[in-house]
Structure 1
């Protein structure tokens, strides 16, 4: 089944389940109370924080828990409509799918959590704030978050092809930041039920909620700092290397798509993208006259440029978050048959992520115009990769790349980034063999 079909099926099923929950809840809840909670849910979703490219998290679970405790599960289900309202307000792409999915998953999660709470209350024979009831709402909180994240993991897996288990892990990785604030919801609900909460106390209770949000924002800003750090290195490479401007970004983009095609988990895809962006950072340590030479390299020059993977790994070795993928930088010119450079490592030392970037690096080099030859067509480049399967490239990576370039309608990069450096000379029409001889082993 195609990804789009899988995604649509998941959304339709979840939306139908949510509609059923809403159909049961709406007649049972006081309208204006439900609307008040809906507005609160809407605000928390507007203040949501990005967890990964296609997933955001918020503190709306606090609104749901307060609603369940203070006014019952039916009100909590109605409150969940604030989620899709916020999504409709914030997004422009795939709006219908996103709104339908969020309406369904929030309503189902609220209904299941509310049902869990009321069922446990009956089982324990307790009423809030008895210890049994506090335990019941704590369990209901875990149920709400688990159902919510399970549905999000399902839709991410359907959209990306990523295994459900890894999609779910990446979605819940910051869920622990929200756990301490369940206590705030319990306290707020207790005061509401006791009639002992006024505007000032309500404001004081809101302060820890904003502290909770600041933790999520700090997590997001850390990710953004990683991204800025990586891109500053890329800028340094491109200032020096006139002939490969844009190459790093294209290799990173395609590498992430190929990893996704192969079902690589999100966290590994993300790090692969960073390492692919930085795979040529070692060129900073290669003389400019070698980097920007408009033609084939002599033996001495080639020996100098062969060291850029080692130099790159040395530059990046103290950046902790890149440690799991440092081999991508170190080995991106190695081959399965051990004839690559600079280390000549064996096939066993080349992990899947290294093989992905090695394949994509060679593909982009072949399909990009350089000072010494014009770009090859996509089909020609894929054919050359297939010819080199087994001794240079992994067949799985080559076929995944072939599928990706068709899906993306990938086009060669025919504009030479530094045409002024040619000084009026004509760029020759090179062959794949020329490209491999000049760039020495598949990529740049």
Structure 2
């Protein structure tokens, strides 16, 4: 019996060699006496099998794709039994090629692998040869990824009458090889997500340099062992703020203060607090000075000390437009028409701009940002420049019509913030816009 193919091959181990022994049986082939019917006494080893007590078959296999492999095999034997008759030790030689299909994936097994094959070859008995058509049924039993045992039976139908039909049974050792593992981490390149860098099987071949159980590609701190909750970064002081974001990484503090402590609880981190043990407002670096209206602006700096306001407005209340007023402003802004590819206004836009001027004048203490946007036609750099010019054109118009320049800023965002699809004409029209936002 002999080995003739290594199935369960794939791109990882595309080549296989096999060695073994073979047995030839002329009896159960449906011929006349001294032969029997098909498969009659199929396992009568003593009376009908011809075999040599030595290595008698060698094969080479190459994986093709989708479970198919191609095998070339050579075998020798000595024929002393033809059915129930004896023969005078006739020589037997065979060269065969077989295409086989593995059922390993179908049955989802990496150990037991049945297969079928079809092929042909040339067989010589007593130095007289003829072509054969071969059908094969076999089973591989894999001990590990590279070594296995193969058992198979092949029916050989001769094309010439002088060569009898017969079965050739084989058993032997299969050895697979040829897998590529560039980084030598034990994971073949085909299955290795990082084929050039040694890694771990748990991460499909990618490394975990700091050994914290988070692969480097997902680890924000790949060279420092850390915690999963911080994407692999450490938290030395255990305050719930990762060291990379902690302004006081060795002293436990508050998340609200970027990991720094606040001994007096005044909302000013101790490192920035001129009076760390006395609560005081941030505006006075944490020291306790009078703030009559409690707006966070010390009386000495508060232009409206008896009326709560904002720090940005020097302690005075800000009068900002309501959401519906901002909506009206943006409805006007989106109808501003520019000349194609330019930052100059079309004539009919003047009425829209004047309406916007009137709203701005109603809120003299409010500050605004003018933002320009484009569609995706043209290059990103030209769109960015055009959006900036258009935003500044609106700002310049407002300033020229009596709005304080200190209240207005302008910025362009090019094509980076679409509000609609750039694949349709209407979507592009929506994306070409000016927006107004409160600062």
Superposition TM-score, scaled by structure 1 size:
0.20
Structure number with greater CO (CA < 8 Å, separation at least 6) is 1
